Amino acid sequence: MNLGDIITRLEAADPQQVVKHGFHNPHSYRGDYYDLAFEPATDITVADMLEAARSAVGATYQGWKGGDFKMNEYDWCWLSEEGTASGETISPLLLDFMLTSSVDRPTVLREAADTLHALREKTDVNVAEYDRYDFRQRIALSDGVSLLRRMADESAKEARP
């Protein structure tokens, strides 16, 4: 998902909503310095996430090994601590689940993970046939499944009395 799409989606959400698993602190992604990353954040408002996303448009960040990288609304976005290459992209599905209320959240997250896993299996072909962009999408599907399942487990633990 690119930065412009993230901003558009956050603008449509309730700015006062507190997001259990969100993001903040934009920076150059260590996995590919031309890409943008945000650090994970807990209990953050949509307004704060939107502010972080908007602040990245036109900002220049230094790559981990040097160099300056100016970000724009078309840059691919990742969820990663600064200085690490998590491999976890911010997908439309992940952002939707970040913005989903916690009502029966574990079940919703597990269903989404299963759906995404089925899509990943359906598109699984020889990696050599993929160009760089398609390969990144394939990785994003796998990462999204892992992240959704982890979020479901965390939500289930938090929901227990």
Note the pLDDT tens digit of each residue in 88-122. Answer: 899 998 999 899 876 666 777 788 778 777 776 76
26: which DSSP letter?
E
Report pTM: 0.66
The CA distance from 8 to 116, in Å, is: 23
The CA distance from 3 to 73, in Å, is: 5
pLDDT tens digits for 1-53?
A: 999 999 999 999 999 999 999 999 999 998 888 899 999 999 999 999 999 99
Residue with tokens 């993001």: 23
